[in-house]
Structures are given as structure tokens and as C-alpha cells.
């Protein structure tokens, strides 16, 4: 699935393309849900890639959704000040972001 270095335990970086291929996406009338649990120990990085791309799209007025976004993670996910900032910026712009632990 992902190449991991045996010494040091580092996995290769998550890209936008890898996010699109790996995260399980579902959508209804009100929200879009991405399950990032398939990223295992890279859930934090996957969320950072996705939210970073949304913040970039917001900055260039290219964000084309107003649906709430839910990201499903498990106990391997740990938020960071950067991710909290992304969530705050997007929520303030009218795009609610929620990280759920089902």
C-alpha cells in the first residue's frame, strides 16, 4: 500500500493525488465526508494536505463548495496548531470543518 522505511518508520509524504485515491469519500445534501483512517499513522498528514488545499483554494477564490466537511479519523490522529488554524480559517469563511472519531 505505502512504502515505509524499515529503519526510522517514516512513510512517504502524502500528496493530493494520494489523498484523493485513498480517503473514502461520501456526500449527501448537506456535507462531504472523508474517511482518512486508511492512512493509518499518516492521518494527520493526510488531513493537513486536504485542509491546506482548501485554504489555498479559498485564498484564490476557487473554493467551489459550501457543504460542511467531516473528516473521520481514529486515535492515531493528533491535531496540531497548524491544523486548528486551517479549521478556524475555513469555518470563518463559511465552510464548517469537523474532525470526527467514530
pTM of the model: 0.85
- The rounded distance, in Å, linking the Cα atoms of 40 and 64 is 29
List of residues 6+ apart from 85 with CB closer than 8 A: none
Angle between helices 43-59 and 81-92 (to 10 degrees): 40
Q: Please write the tens of the pLDDT for every residue from 28-68.
A: 999 999 999 999 999 999 999 999 999 999 999 998 877 99
CA 68, 82, 21, 76 torsion-angle sign: negative
pLDDT of residue 1: 40
- The rounded distance, in Å, linking the Cα atoms of 39 and 46 is 7
Residue 66 sits in which domain range?
A: 18-100
Q: Please write the tens of the pLDDT for every residue from 76-98.
A: 999 999 999 999 999 999 999 99
Give the number of domains in the chain.
1
Question: Residue 24 sits in a domain of what CATH number?
Answer: 3.30.750
Say yes or no to pLDDT of 8 above 50.
no
Assigned domain for 26 exists: yes
Amino acid at each position: 500500500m505505502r512504502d515505509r522505511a524499515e529503519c526510522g518508520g517514516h512513510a512517504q509524504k502524502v500528496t493530493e493525488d494520494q489523498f484523493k485515491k485513498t480517503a473514502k469519500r461520501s456526500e449527501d445534501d448537506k456535507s462531504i465526508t472523508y474517511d482518512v483512517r486508511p492512512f493509518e499513522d499518516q492521518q494527520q498528514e493526510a488531513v493537513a494536505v486536504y485542509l491546506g488545499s482548501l485554504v489555498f483554494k479559498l485564498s484564490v477564490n476557487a473554493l467551489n463548495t459550501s457543504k460542511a466537511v467531516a473528516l473521520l479519523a481514529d486515535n492515531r490522529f493528533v491535531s496540531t496548531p497548524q491544523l486548528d488554524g486551517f479549521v478556524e480559517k475555513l469555518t470563518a469563511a463559511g465552510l464548517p470543518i469537523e474532525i470526527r472519531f467514530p
